């Protein structure tokens, strides 16, 4: 069956995107947005990478800002697997799905409240974990065989792994932040140079002049959630 998930930002609201549901599980995320649950009870935050969902103003909106954006904390109450997600600064505003004009926004009127699905991290993410470990290290001096393995492992990841990996934040010793996708891209640039050079190794400075990169966000410390409307009976996984 098909459900409607929280999608990408579209002006002042969030678009919806189709997901596949089977046996009360999301079996295909498509382009759904994976959100990280942060904060604490009564003051939760919902973010994707460095972008935070927030509400402000007097119109039916749901916007994307930073960790310091006003209106980016939420109260979440779940009854019978249905989530009431209320903005802390504007408690009359509830995050909902608009079935008549497909989108996610914050409404004072009754729309369709979502269900929350948690990504199952009990199964080892073999390729994801490998890439995090490698790209958190000194891959700047890695030989062609190692870079080829990075390429193979990246392309073997599931769509869920790729979505989260690409937005994972890594901080270099230059104190600049990079996404997992940026570090992967830089590793592939080195791979291309090695392939063109005809040798298996090549000195190359990336990000921090051959210094280590340090991972600041890892999947083992995150609660990753996706928000979906409840057209079918759903089960909340915890």
Determine the Cα–Cα distance for residues 151 and 160; give it in Å rounded to an integer.
Answer: 17
Question: How much of the chain exceeds pLDDT 90, in percent?
Answer: 34
The confidence band for 76, taking pLDDT boundaries of 50, 70 and 90, is: very high
Whether the pTM exceeds 0.75: the reply is no
Q: Is 114 a residue whose pLDDT tops 80?
A: yes
The confidence band for 24, taking pLDDT boundaries of 50, 70 and 90, is: confident
Averaged pLDDT, 165-173: 72
Give the residue, 102 or 174, on which the prediction is more confident.
Answer: 102
pLDDT at 74: 98
Give the residue, 159 or 13, on which the prediction is more confident.
Answer: 13
DSSP states of 12-31 as a string? TEEEEEEEEEETTEEEE-TT
Give the residue, 162 or 107, on which the prediction is more confident.
Answer: 107
Comparing CA positions, the residue from 122, 100, 108 lying closest to residue 229 is: 100
pLDDT at 31: 74
Which of 166-170, 187-191, 205-209 comes out lowest in average pLDDT? 205-209
The confidence band for 95, taking pLDDT boundaries of 50, 70 and 90, is: very high
The radius of gyration computed from the CA coordinates of the chain, to the nearest angstrom, equals 20
Q: Is 13 a residue whose pLDDT tops 90?
A: yes
Query: Domain 2-121+221-229, CATH 2.80.10.50 — does that match?
Result: yes
Domain ranges of the chain: 2-121+221-229, 126-219
Q: Exposed e or buried b for every residue in 10-35, given b needs 16+ CB within 10 A? A: eeebbbbbebebeeeebeebeebbbb
The confidence band for 198, taking pLDDT boundaries of 50, 70 and 90, is: low
Averaged pLDDT, 207-224: 30
Instruction: Tell me the average pLDDT of the chain.
Output: 77
Q: Is 63 a residue whose pLDDT tops 80?
A: yes
Averaged pLDDT, 125-131: 68
pLDDT at 138: 62
């Amino acid at each position: 069956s098909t459900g409607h998930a929280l999608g990408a930002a579209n002006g002042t609201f969030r678009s919806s995107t189709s997901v596949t549901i089977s046996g009360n599980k999301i079996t295909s995320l498509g382009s759904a947005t994976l959100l990280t649950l942060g904060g604490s009870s009564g003051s939760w935050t919902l973010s994707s990478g460095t972008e935070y969902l927030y509400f402000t103003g007097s119109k039916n909106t749901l916007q994307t800002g930073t960790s310091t954006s006003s209106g980016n904390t939420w109260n979440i109450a779940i009854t019978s697997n249905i989530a009431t997600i209320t903005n802390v600064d504007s408690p009359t505003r509830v995050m909902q799905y608009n079935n008549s004009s497909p989108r996610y926004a914050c409404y004072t009127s009754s729309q369709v409240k979502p269900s929350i699905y948690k990504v199952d991290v009990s199964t080892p993410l073999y390729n994801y974990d490998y890439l995090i470990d490698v790209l958190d290290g000194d891959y700047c001096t890695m030989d062609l065989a190692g870079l080829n393995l990075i390429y193979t492992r990246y392309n073997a990841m599931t769509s869920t792994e790729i979505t989260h990996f690409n937005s994972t934040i890594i901080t270099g010793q230059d104190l600049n932040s990079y996404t997992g996708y940026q570090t992967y891209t830089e590793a592939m640039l080195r791979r291309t140079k090695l392939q063109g050079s005809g040798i298996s190794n090549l000195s190359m400075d990336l990000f921090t002049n051959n210094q280590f990169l340090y991972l600041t966000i890892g999947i083992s410390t995150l609660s990753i959630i996706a928000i979906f409307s409840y057209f079918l009976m759903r089960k909340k996984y915890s």
